[in-house]
Amino acid sequence: MVTTRPAVLPDLPTLAKLFDAYRQFYKQAADLSGAEAFIAERLRAQDTHLICAELDGIMVGFTHLFPSFTSTRMARVFILNDLFVLPSARGKGAGRALLAAAKDYGQREGAVSLYLSTQIENTSAQALYEGDGWALSTGFIPYDFSLSKPERDG
């Protein structure tokens, strides 16, 4: 059975491994210590919201919501920035449970919408999102501008 819950600091070792696997899925070099530092900072600062998915009591995935605002609607929104489920746990409801938990959290926080993006090639994620009622945005064209990454202290 899949359950979801907010991540807490004691989840850090397992959550960091999942986060590092997520980054590697997106062709980033493995960096477990960097993943742990990043997630620890998010949990301590409480500036984002991490939700864990557990299958029979074992953490198998997470989603990561970043708060933002929509100027045109003058309201709060959340960016569903990350969603990852271990390959061995896919197809067992963890992804859908994470999406449901994200929607529930957004509603409780008074957000008017959730946004996400995924790689064009990630058709399995697209099927999950579309099957869950998410609509492909046709009104806006996304752009990116890369800034140089600041050096980490230490």
pLDDT tens sequence across 48-64: 999 999 999 999 999 99
List the strands of the sheet with 58-70, edge to edge.
2-6, 49-55, 58-70, 75-85, 113-115
- Decide if 23 is inside a domain: yes
Q: Are residues 87 and 59 in contact, defined by beta-carbon separation less than 8 angstroms?
A: no
Q: Is 139 within a domain? A: no
Give a yes or no: residue 26 inside a domain. yes
Write down the pLDDT at residue 152.
62
Residue 81, domain member (yes or no):
yes
- Report the number of distinct structural domains present in the chain: 1
Q: What per-residue confidence (pLDDT) applies to 69? A: 97
Residue 148 located in a structural domain: no
* CATH number (domain holding residue 42): 3.40.630.30
Residue 142 lies in a domain: no
- pLDDT at position 148, please? 79
Q: Is the entire prediction scored with pTM above 0.85?
A: yes
